[in-house]
């Protein structure tokens, strides 16, 4: 079932948006694409620069096998064609952050060919509205350095730490039709990259950024002229850019002006895109095959090793959580969207099964529910992410085991969990030391019930007179008198008996 | 005892081992020769201390009874295209004036590891672009040779003109060169010495200032074939820092030397008989044919039909690569920076590169930029790349019927400085016989064949199959033995 198509409502009618994304993802690797220099984020300026990165005379690039391996694995994860023969090209232009005077990239023969990414448009039910976004290609290329204009009143400084770092440029087909689709695509791509481990996906550190191509047309018409908004660095911003740019283009066209093919910049503070340079004054990059590098030829053994090293990917995992673990579609989707979450969940699951001596599928639902509602809720409140969780998967499993064996009621479990968050202590210790154990001691409960009935003669009379809704009142009073530690099932049973 | 500086690499090496003279004496003798030859302008920088240190090291090793490295105590000249740690490396340009690398090129490091010493950095055409050594920022190199009855300054050839001039004038027994389209072979021919460019990939390009990456190849220049073999052996070998380096063992070329050419077929390509070739060159070529026959080779006529397209293809591919390779000289990180008052980044680039590059370098950057630009790329660069493939195929076909090719090295003897400067096309034509083998990445060498009517040396070129430097050297040796070339320039400098 498709939801209503996204349309920009112009003065002259409705417009359809066409979106394609070029995503630059920094390859996870200890060394740069063509040099041995380190790639750590946030290092002192120019502390991670080799002679090659600085383009000293006579220095030559040699490809880093790990970067190629990661790009190939990424290609395999999106079901793409891997080109066993590819080649590096030079993209020539002058800029102070580009020491060689050219970027080594792949224009004519990219490493990875066509593939696809599936996106879900219904959060509640991931299978309800699925769309396949085509991938045109993935090529590997060098990143540039960084200019710093804020260090000196009249001079600019150059930091070459990033110069030469390996990037994958993942080029989609113009298959997206709404801000939501563009956002879902970027989020899904990020998820896949993190599963594969080929990019950390840290958009705030610039490890992943998108060039957003947008055009508008009357539904069903030919493609319109597109603009490209550069270096957009969050899912939310990508969605904003699509919305803003589509609206701007519709206004332009409806005002009788033409859209010029140009490069634009996004200003998140002002919520607008601005022209950077138009096609007319675009660079002539004079691409040609890099004569310092031989063509890249991959053998079957290398490709096989890449394939064998791929982990279970998010869609497969999600389906398995539903079919094998019996999780709801929503829970399965939430737990598999991010590789770290899935890893955390699977640790919790394994430990829960172990301590309760049960199968994983028997403890899966309780584990999933606790993780999604209790732990996520708490982390959200504390402003932390899962990696910073004060409670470990092992501790979570201990808590769940105490609920499962009746030691803790739901209410008590929440109390214990709060203490765990505060102190970092384990549930068994907290229960032991603070006496938070639930009791099923019928003698003790009966004694309390007798006291409650004696203290509330009016209510007792009303209840016996037929006002059965007051049963809950007696349960509450009993639980309260027992400090919440009574087993609710036992309380119910004994109360019914006592009330006759 | 004869002058030490009259000795070649093998004789110096052996003499030091045999105690005929010390390494220190050898170094001192050449250092003095270099210091007295300023008129040739062959050196941009002199490094006597480096040569002397190598000489002393050889003496110490000998005294201590340690085994001597292959070139122990032999001082050589280093073309100033090789980066040398702590020693100014300029590629004969203003833009790199004063640049002292913090690293050593693989080839020069191998020579030092083999015990050689450095007399200095040799002048060259700027960024190795030129055939006469007239494009150097540090002035023309003068050939030690003069036309009979004339005092006109002659071109030593290019781009390795400092190397050729220094070896011919016996300022050093051997020198490194680099060859992109003939830059070792043509200058060797102009001054009556030997020079070999090995198969592309034999010598690492790491640390050699790039001109045209797919063509650049280092090689050896010395007074005879054996010395070339010794030196090239020390320079060659796989280097993981150069992706285009060949991962193959280095043959023992000196050991394999033999002037017996029996069983070999030497091809003579019909297309190299170009219009306007001086009769003397044609006659020398015929003489060379007779010599290799005399050495036992069978001579066969072969056809290399795409030869006439080699020069145009070369002058598209080489400038294209150069235009990109030279983009790094931008005034940002090292070398010259010309920053006019109030200039922005683009203006700094323009001012720096205008001041830092010579005319010929600018010409080639412009040609290269043009042939790579949108709309012209297919017509020029793509076509030239196809022609290159066809030229390589021509050679492959020739190898079906012969083992070596024999041609003249250059279409003329040395010309006077200034003679061709105003006509770049005439200058480019000097490479007509050397460029095809460069495009195909083949080993090729020039050996002296004789003198022309003006008393100027002429060279013969031998081209071999890929990786077959041995037979190239052997044919060179056979010619050398028969040519008996002993002429040397009178020392006027």
A329-352 tens-digit pLDDT: 999 999 999 999 999 999 999 999
B88 assigned to some structural domain: yes
Q: What is the 3-state secondary structure (H, E, C) of A386-406?
A: HHHCCCCHHHHHHHHHHHHCC
Query: Fold for domain A442-499?
Result: Arc Repressor Mutant, subunit A (1.10.10)
ipTM value for the complex: 0.96
Which one, of B478, B398, B480, B475, lies nearest residue B436 by Cα? B398
Please name which of B383, B392, B219, B393 lies closest in space to residue B317, comparing C-alpha atoms.
B383
CB–CB contact B332 A100 (8 Å): no
Give percent above pLDDT 90 in chain A.
76
List of residues 6+ apart from B145 with CB closer than 8 A: B154, B168, B190, B191, B192, B414, B455, B456, B457, B489
pTM assigned to the model: 0.91
Interface membership of B243 toward A (CB under 8 Å): yes
Cβ separation B209–A291 shorter than 8 A = no
- CA distance linking residue B311 with residue B431, whole number of Å: 7
| Helix (H) or strand (E) run with residue A72 in it | helix A65-77
Which H/E stretch holds residue B220? strand B217-222
Higher pLDDT, A469 or B450: B450
Mean pLDDT of A116-124: 90
Instruction: Determine phi and psi for A278, rounding to 5 degrees.
Output: -95, 170
Contacts of A100 in chain B (CB under 8 A): 327-328
Say yes or no: B83 contacts chain A, CB-CB below 8 A.
yes
**Contact between chains at B324 and A51 (C-beta distance less than 8 A):** no
pLDDT at A466: 86
For residue range A163-198, list pLDDT tens digits in order: 999 999 999 999 999 999 999 999 999 999 999 999
B287 in a structural domain:
no
How far is B76 from B115, CA to CA, in rounded Å? 11
B206 and A58 within 8 Å at the Cβ level: the answer is yes
Work out the mean pLDDT of chain A and round it to a whole number: 93
pLDDT of amino acid A407: 85
Of the pLDDT bands very low, low, confident and very high (cuts 50, 70, 90), residue A480 is: confident
Nearest CA-CA distance, residue B95 and chain A, Å: 11
Residue B437 host element (H or E)? helix B435-439
Residue A278, pLDDT > 90, answer: no
User: Got the DSSP string for A214-274?
Assistant: EEEESTTS-----EEEEEE-SHHHHHHHHHHHHHHHHHHHHTTPPPPPEEEEEETTTTEEE
Q: Which residues, in sequence order, are CB contacts of A206 under 8 Å at separation 6+? A: A26, A162, A233
* Confidence label for A484 from pLDDT (cuts 50, 70 and 90): confident
From first to last of the 493 residues of chain B, give the pLDDT tens digit: 469 999 999 999 999 999 999 999 999 999 999 999 999 999 999 999 999 999 999 999 999 999 999 999 999 999 999 999 999 999 999 999 999 999 999 999 999 999 999 999 999 999 999 999 999 999 999 999 999 999 999 999 999 999 999 999 999 999 999 999 999 999 999 999 999 999 999 999 999 999 999 999 999 999 999 999 999 999 999 999 999 999 999 999 999 999 999 999 999 999 999 888 889 999 999 999 999 999 999 999 999 999 999 999 999 999 999 999 999 999 999 999 999 998 999 999 999 999 999 999 999 999 999 999 999 999 999 999 999 999 999 999 999 999 999 999 999 999 999 998 888 888 888 899 999 999 999 999 999 999 999 999 999 999 999 999 999 999 999 999 999 999 999 999 9
- The minimum CA-CA distance between A150 and chain B, rounded to whole Å, is 16
Q: Which residues contact B468 (CB under 8 A, 6 or more apart)?
A: B199, B403, B404, B443
Longest alpha-carbon distance in chain B = 72
For the CA atoms of A124, A126, A131, A133, the dihedral, rounded to the nearest 10 degrees, stands at 110
Burial of B152 (0-12, 13-18, 19+ CB in 10 A): exposed
Query: In DSSP terms, which residues pair with A133 in a beta bridge?
Result: A117
Structural domain count of chain B = 1
Residues of chain A with CATH 1.10.10.410: 442-499
Residues from chain A contacting residue B326 (CB–CB below 8 Å):
101
Residue B244 near residue A295 (C-beta atoms within 8 A):
no
Q: How many CA atoms lie within 13 A of B103 on its CB side?
A: 17
How close, in Å, is residue B14 to chain A by CA atoms? 34
Buried/exposed code over A53-74 (b: 16+ C-beta within 10 A; e: otherwise):
bbbbbbbbbbbbeebbbbbbbb
Which residues in chain B are contacts of A288 at CB distance < 8 A? 320, 324, 372, 377, 381
Please judge whether B324 and A102 are an interchain contact, meaning their C-beta atoms are less than 8 angstroms apart: yes
Indicate which residues of B carry an active-site annotation: 79, 159, 183
Compute CA distances A74 → A166, A303, A336, A400, whole Å: 14, 12, 18, 37
Compute the count of residue pairs across chains A and B with CB atoms less than 8 Å apart.
97
A92 to chain B: which residues are within 8 Å by CB?
Answer: 323-324, 327, 372
| Mutation for A interface: B214, B325, B335, B342, most A CBs within 10 A | B325
Residue B292 lies in a domain: no
Residue B93: its pLDDT value, please?
A: 98
Distance from A154 to chain B by nearest Cα, in Å?
10
**Rounded distance between C-alpha atoms, residue B449 and residue B461, angstroms:** 10
Q: Is the CB of B328 less than 8 angstroms away from the CB of A286?
A: no
Structure tokens at A485: 């530690």
Given a contact cutoff of 8 angstroms between Cβ atoms, the answer to whether A201 and A194 are in contact is yes
Task: Indicate yes or no: CB of A294 within 8 angstroms of CB of B244.
Answer: yes
Which of 414-433 (B) contact A at CB < 8 A?
A: none
Of B91, B241, B345, the CB nearest to A60: B241
Q: d(Cα A221, Cα A9) in Å, to the nearest integer?
A: 16
Q: Looking at chain A, which residue has its C-alpha nearest residue B323?
A: A92
- A contacts of B332 (beta carbons < 8 Å): 96, 99, 158
Residue position matching structure tokens 């797919």: B214
Say if B171 falls within a structural domain.
Answer: yes
pLDDT at A14 over 90: yes
B114 CA: distance to closest CA in chain A (Å): 22
Subunit contact A292:B209, Cβ cutoff 8 A: no
- Whether B300 contacts B265, CB under 8 Å: yes
CA distance A257 to chain B (A): 29
Q: Report residue B349 as tokens.
A: 């680039």
Residue in chain A nearest B240 by alpha carbon:
A62
Q: How many CA atoms lie within 13 A of B276 on its CB side?
A: 7
DSSP H or E segment with residue A182: helix A179-196
Residue B109 contacts A, CB cutoff 8 Å: no
Nearest to B332 among A57, A92, A96 (CB): A96
- For residue B100, which residues of chain A lie inside 8 Å, CB to CB? none
The CATH number of the domain holding residue B196 is 3.90.1300.10
Predicted local distance difference test score (pLDDT) of residue A431: 86
Q: How far is B382 from chain A (nearest CA, A)?
A: 9
- B333, B347, B371, B439: which to substitute to probe chain A, counting the most A Cβ within 10 Å? B333
Going by C-alpha positions, the residue among A142, A216, A130 that lies closest to residue A174 is A216
For residue B469, which of B96, B199, B223 has the smallest C-alpha distance?
B199
Residue A444: pLDDT band (50, 70, 90) is confident
| Domain-embedded: residue B91 | yes
pLDDT at residue A2, rounded to an integer = 46
Cβ atoms of B417 and B155 closer than 8 Å: yes
Candidates B151, B152, B156; CA nearest to B139 is B156
In this complex, is the C-beta atom of B89 within 8 Å of any C-beta atom belonging to chain A?
Answer: yes
**CB < 8 Å to A149, chain B:** none
Instruction: Please tell me the predicted confidence (pLDDT) of residue A279.
Output: 60
Estimate the crossing angle of helix B469-483 against helix B279-294, to 10 degrees: 110
The nearest CA of chain B is from the CA of A62 a distance in Å of 6
Test B89 with A291 for CB contact under 8 angstroms. no
User: Which has the closest alpha carbon to B81: B189, B8, B187, B183?
Assistant: B183
Interface of A with B (CB under 8 A): 51, 54-63, 90, 92, 94-96, 99-102, 156, 158, 284, 286-288, 291-294
CB contact under 8 Å between B243 and A54, yes or no, is: no
Report which of residues B128 and A468 the model is more confident about. B128
Which residues does chain A have within 8 Å of residue B323's beta carbon, measured at their own beta carbons? 92, 286
With an 8 Å Cβ cutoff, are A58 and B324 in contact? no
Is residue A318 within 8 Å of A366, Cβ to Cβ?
no
* A486 secondary structure, DSSP code: B
- How far apart are alpha carbons A192 and A180 in whole angstroms? 18
Write down the pLDDT at residue A1.
Answer: 37
Boundaries of domain holding B76: 4-260
Which residue's structure tokens are 């095809």? B436
Look at residue A84 in the predicted model and tell me its pLDDT.
98
User: Residue B293, Cβ neighbours under 10 Å: how many?
Assistant: 14
Task: Residue A291: list chain B partners with CB under 8 A.
Answer: 212-214, 321
B101:A56 CB<8 A: yes
> B82 contacts in A (CB within 8 Å)?
58
């Amino acid at each position: 079932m498709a939801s209503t198509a996204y349309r920009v409502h112009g003065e002259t009618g409705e417009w359809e948006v066409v979106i394609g994304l070029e995503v630059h993802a920094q390859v996870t690797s200890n060394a740069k694409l063509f040099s041995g220099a380190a790639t750590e984020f946030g290092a002192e300026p120019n502390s991670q620069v080799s002679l090659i990165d600085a383009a000293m005379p006579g220095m030559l690039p040699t490809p880093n096998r790990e970067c190629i391996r990661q790009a190939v694995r990424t290609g395999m994860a999106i079901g793409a064609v891997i080109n066993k023969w590819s080649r590096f090209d030079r993209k020539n232009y002058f800029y102070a952050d580009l020491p060689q005077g050219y970027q080594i990239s792949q224009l004519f023969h990219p490493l990875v060919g066509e593939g696809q990414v599936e996106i879900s448009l219904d959060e509640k039910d991931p299978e309800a509205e699925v769309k396949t976004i085509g991938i045109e290609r993935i090529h590997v290329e060098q990143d540039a350095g960084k200019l710093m204009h804020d260090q000196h009143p009249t001079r600019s400084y150059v930091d070459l730490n990033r110069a030469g770092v390996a990037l994958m440029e993942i080029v989609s087909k113009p298959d997206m039709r709404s801000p939501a689709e563009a956002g879902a695509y970027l989020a899904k791509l990020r998820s896949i990259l993190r599963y594969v481990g080929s990019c950390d996906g840290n958009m705030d550190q610039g490890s992943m950024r998108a060039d957003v191509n947008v055009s508008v047309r009357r539904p069903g018409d030919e493609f319109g002229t597109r603009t490209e908004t550069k270096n957009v660095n969050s899912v939310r911003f990508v969605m904003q850019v699509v919305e803003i740019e589509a609206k701007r283009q519709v206004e332009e066209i409806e005002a009788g002006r033409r859209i010029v093919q140009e490069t634009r910049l996004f200003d998140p503070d002002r919520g607008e895109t601005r022209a950077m340079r138009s096609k007319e004054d675009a660079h002539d990059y004079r691409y040609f095959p890099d004569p310092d590098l031989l063509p890249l030829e991959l053998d079957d053994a290398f490709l096989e090793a890449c394939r064998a090293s791929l982990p279970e990917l998010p869609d497969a995992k999600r389906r398995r959580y539903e079919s094998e673990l019996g999780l709801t579609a929503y829970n399965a989707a939430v737990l598999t969207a991010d590789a770290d979450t899935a890893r955390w969940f699977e640790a919790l699951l394994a430990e829960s099964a172990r301590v309760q001596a049960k199968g994983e599928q028997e403890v899966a639902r309780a584990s999933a529910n606790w993780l999604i509602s209790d732990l996520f809720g708490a982390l959200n409140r504390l402003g932390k992410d899962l990696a910073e969780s004060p409670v470990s998967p092992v501790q979570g499993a201990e808590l769940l085991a105490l609920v499962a064996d009746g030691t803790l009621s739901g209410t008590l479990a929440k109390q214990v969990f709060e203490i765990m968050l505060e102190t970092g202590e384990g549930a068994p210790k907290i229960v032991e030391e603070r006496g938070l154990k639930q009791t099923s001691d019928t003698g003790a409960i009966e004694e309390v019930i007798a006291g409650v009935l004696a203290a509330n003669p009016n209510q007792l009379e009303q209840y016996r007179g037929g006002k059965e809704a007051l049963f809950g009142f007696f349960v509450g009073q009993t639980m309260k008198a027992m400090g919440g530690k009574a087993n609710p099932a036992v309380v119910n049973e004994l109360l019914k008996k006592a009330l006759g | 005892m004869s002058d030490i500086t009259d000795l070649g690499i093998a004789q110096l090496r052996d003499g030091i081992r045999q105690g005929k003279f010390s390494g220190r004496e050898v170094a001192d003798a050449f250092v003095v020769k270099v210091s007295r030859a300023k008129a040739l302008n062959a050196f941009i920088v002199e490094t006597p201390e480096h040569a002397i240190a190598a000489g002393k090291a050889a003496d110490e090793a000998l005294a201590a009874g340690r085994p001597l490295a292959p070139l122990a105590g032999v001082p050589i000249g280093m073309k100033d295209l090789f980066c040398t740690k702590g020693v100014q490396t300029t590629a004969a340009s203003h833009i790199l004036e004063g640049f002292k690398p913090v690293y050593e090129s693989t080839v020069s490091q191998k020579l030092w590891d083999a015990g050689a010493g450095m007399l200095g950095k040799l002048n060259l055409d700027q960024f190795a672009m030129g055939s006469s050594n007239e494009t150097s920022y540090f002035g023309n190199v003068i050939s030690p040779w003069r036309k009979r009855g004339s005092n006109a300054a002659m071109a030593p050839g290019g781009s390795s003109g400092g190397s050729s001039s220094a070896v011919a004038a016996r300022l050093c027994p051997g020198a490194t060169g680099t060859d992109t389209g003939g830059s070792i072979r043509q200058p060797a021919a102009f001054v009556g010495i030997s020079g070999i460019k090995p198969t592309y990939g034999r010598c690492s390009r790491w640390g050699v200032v790039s001109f045209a990456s797919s063509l650049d190849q280092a090689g050896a220049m010395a007074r005879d074939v054996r010395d070339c073999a010794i030196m090239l052996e020390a320079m060659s070998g796989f280097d993981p820092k150069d992706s285009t380096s060949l991962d193959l063992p280095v043959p023992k070329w000196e050991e394999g030397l033999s002037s017996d050419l029996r069983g070999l077929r030497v091809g003579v390509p019909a297309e190299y008989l170009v219009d306007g070739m001086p009769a003397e060159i044609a006659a020398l070529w015929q003489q060379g044919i007779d010599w290799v026959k005399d050495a036992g080779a069978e001579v066969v006529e072969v056809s290399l039909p795409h030869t006439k397209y080699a020069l145009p293809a070369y002058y598209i591919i080489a400038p294209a690569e150069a235009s990109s390779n030279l983009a790094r000289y931008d005034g940002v990180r090292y070398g010259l920076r010309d920053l006019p008052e109030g200039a922005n980044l683009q203006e700094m680039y323009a001012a720096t590169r205008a001041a830092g590059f010579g005319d010929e370098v600018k010409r080639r950057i412009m040609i290269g930029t043009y042939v790579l630009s949108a709309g012209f790329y297919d017509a020029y660069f793509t076509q030239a790349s196809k022609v290159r493939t066809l030229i390589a195929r021509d050679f492959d076909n020739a190898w079906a019927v012969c083992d070596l090719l024999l041609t003249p090295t250059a279409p003329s003897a040395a010309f006077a400085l200034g003679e061709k400067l105003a006509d770049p096309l005439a200058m480019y034509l000097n490479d007509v016989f050397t460029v095809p083998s460069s495009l195909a990445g083949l080993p090729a060498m020039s050996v002296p064949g004789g003198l022309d009517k003006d008393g100027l040396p002429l060279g013969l070129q031998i081209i071999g199959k890929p990786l077959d430097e041995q037979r190239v050297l052997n044919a060179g040796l056979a010619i050398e033995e028969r040519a008996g070339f002993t002429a040397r320039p009178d020392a006027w400098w």
